[in-house]
Structure 1
């Protein structure tokens, strides 16, 4: 994975992925316990829907993990130099990390089967 023009070392990438897995699994803990109570031991057993030969919920779970890992890496590996161009690139990356985090939240909400937006009338 390349973030901000630099290559991420494998140990850092592994750390980001592990952290993302913990985040996604934590956010899905109650949902997972409900599925276990229904008799589904594996995520792939919850829904028959497939995408490109893989269970759809597994694809969405992977998307959430990748998004949170990318957000973590974007926040911690900025392409910063002494030039104005480097500073501008660093500023442009901050929204990208937020975008990845948003995508991770959306993927989790897709698994939970809840809407992505909460709207309240005042």
Structure 2
């Protein structure tokens, strides 16, 4: 016996620990709450993102989305709709209003982009340069998805035209 003890190397195949219990973040009475556990699973955030950091990102995302949709919201309230759930859906997917789906998609995408940008900054070491490039690509996709969610919500086209 040599006296050396070798431990198994860490494995990426081991699942992350279970996320904390379900927790809702509420914006106000009109907009639906966002469940942090659902968001964490949908965006595939690991437990390195603390619940406090995630909650903060969701709050800011809700403010951003609510600001983008403020005029639309006021129009709906003038029509007598007290909550987003009360607004008649244009389409339903799995018995869920398209408005509810697009609200969640916008929030999820803003949060994913925000967290991705923060992780990119943390990954900027020589060894993390490749990972940082991959994270930047993910952030760009999430930022595009935010624009799509807002435009789809408002019933606008996604076409972007630039004159040369």
| Matched position secondary structure for 2:159 | coil
**Residue 7 (str. 1) matches residue 48 (str. 2):** yes
**Residue 16 (str. 1) matches residue 51 (str. 2):** no
Larger radius of gyration: 2
Q: Which residue of 1 aligns with 2:68?
A: 27
Q: Which residue of 2 aligns with 1:69?
A: 111
Alignment of 1:72-87 (within 5 A): 72-78=114-120, 80=123, 82-84=125-127, 86-87=128-129
TM-score normalised to structure 1 length: 0.85
Q: Which residue of 2 aligns with 1:95?
A: 137
Q: Which residue of 2 aligns with 1:37?
A: 78
Residues matched between the structures, number: 120
Gaps of 5+ in 1: none
Q: Which residue of 2 aligns with 1:114?
A: 156
- Greater mean deviation of Cα atoms: 109-118 or 63-72: 109-118
C-alpha displacement of 1:53 = 2.6
| Matched position secondary structure for 1:7 | coil
C-alpha displacement of 1:121 = 6.5
Cα-to-partner distance string for 1:72-121 (whole Å, 9 max, x where unaligned)? 0000123627444x211112211211210110111111110101123367
- Please state which structure has a larger fraction of its residues in helix: 1
Q: Which of the pair has the greater relative contact order for Cα pairs under 8 Å at 6+ separation?
A: 1
TM-score normalised to structure 2 length: 0.65
